[in-house]
Amino acid sequence: MKEKKFNKKGISALVATVLLTVFVISLGLVVINWSGKLVEEGIEKSQSKIGSNLECADVNIKLEEKLGLPSTIIIKNNNKNNLELEGFIGRFFKTNGDVIVDYANNDFSDDKKIKAFGAREFNFDNIQTVNVAGNPGVTIKWSDINRIEIIPRVDIGEEIVNCDVRKVAWEK
């Protein structure tokens, strides 16, 4: 009788191929799952950004100094489509190069919103700033300020967005 010899090298190559195939398929599924979630989040963020950019296209504000009161700035809302300003974020550029961001006027109540084609005065002399958490920040002296930037905030449905692209500046 003849002995049958099994070629063990052939079996180990077959096992290696099967294991490698299973590994590659598993890795592919993990990458597809991960990238799907990443793309979904990116789409949601871009839809919100596109919506806010479209809504901000109608935003048009103007800053003017009140005659006789240099620390009082008038914010005029020249927005189209009856778009009210829900608030604004102020950035104060000091003469020493520091920038202070003020969130004090971040969210207006219904009676304080700046209606379309309306205006409000804001006195920025010795103001107490408010940080993101709503806590008091630093006191700004008008004599230290050489530039103010106002970033308007508008309501786009159920979300209030900052219209960074429509910010306006006033300089001494």
pLDDT of residue 63: 85
Secondary structure element (H or E) that encloses residue 48, with its range? helix 8-56
- pLDDT band for position 29 (cuts 50, 70, 90): very high
Q: What is the dihedral of CA 39, 43, 49, 55, to 10 degrees?
A: 180
CA of residue 84 relative to chain centroid, distance: 19
* pLDDT at 95 exceeding the cut of 80: yes
pLDDT in tens, 107-117: 777 777 888 88
pLDDT of residue 80: 74
pLDDT of residue 22: 94
If we measure between CA atoms, which residue out of 56, 53, 72 comes closest to residue 64? 72
- Please, which residues have CB within 8 angstroms of residue 140's CB and are 6 or more apart in sequence? 92, 94, 100, 102, 124, 126, 127, 129
If we measure between CA atoms, which residue out of 147, 122, 152, 143 comes closest to residue 56? 152
pLDDT of residue 74: 84
**Other C-beta atoms lying within 10 Å of the C-beta of residue 168:** 17
pLDDT of residue 158: 74
pLDDT of residue 2: 55
What sign has the CA pseudo-torsion 110, 114, 119, 125? positive
Residue with tokens 């700046």: 114
- pTM of the entire structure? 0.64
Distance CA 34, CA 65 (A): 53
* Residue 126 zone, left/alpha/beta (φ > 0; ψ -120 to 50; rest): left
Q: Which range has the worst mean pLDDT, 19-23, 116-120, 128-132?
A: 128-132
Helix, strand or coil, per DSSP, at residue 63: strand
